[in-house]
Amino acid sequence: MLGQMKLIKPLAKKAAALFGLSEAEERMLNEVPYRGMPMPPTDPLIYRFYEMVMVNGPAWKALIEDEFGDGIMSAIDFDITFEREPNPKGDRVKIGMSGKFLPYRYYGSEQGIPEYGYKEPE
């Protein structure tokens, strides 16, 4: 509902009823939005996510490639969990991300050359 996701028509109708929206506003909920924001983000919390990716991204990329092969983690076929983790020094934010692995496709492959970037047997 923060302008980053499209609601399919039945969900847009439910949201419009819940929030007392007009028909025009209901139709807007069904439009494909322009996703993202200017970079780097200026909101302090969102900036910390950006910072985590900038600092740790190369290591996460290497770990994913070592485990799965040459590809990406989907941000479309994606789940996220969020919970508070009690800690005597101050509660912590615990976030878990799960995205489908999408291997790169290699074009012009021949017999014995893989078509996709799945991890090769050792």
Domains of the chain: 1-36 (no CATH), 38-68 (no CATH), 69-122 (3.30.1160.10)
Can you tell me the mean pLDDT for 53-68? 96
Task: Inform me whether the pLDDT recorded for 108 exceeds 90.
Answer: no
**48-69: average pLDDT:** 96
Selected catalytic residue, list 25, 31, 51, 115 = 51
Q: Is 120 a catalytic residue?
A: no
- The pTM (predicted TM-score) of the whole model is 0.71
Best CA proximity match to 10, nearest among 34, 31, 32, 30? 30
Which residue in the list 27, 35, 48, 105 is annotated as catalytic? 48
67 counts as catalytic: no
Catalytic residue among 25, 27, 31, 74: 74
> What is the pLDDT at residue 33?
87
Mean per-residue pLDDT, 97-103: 96
Q: Answer for the pair 48, 59: CB distance below 8 angstroms, yes or no.
A: no
User: Catalytic: 110?
Assistant: no
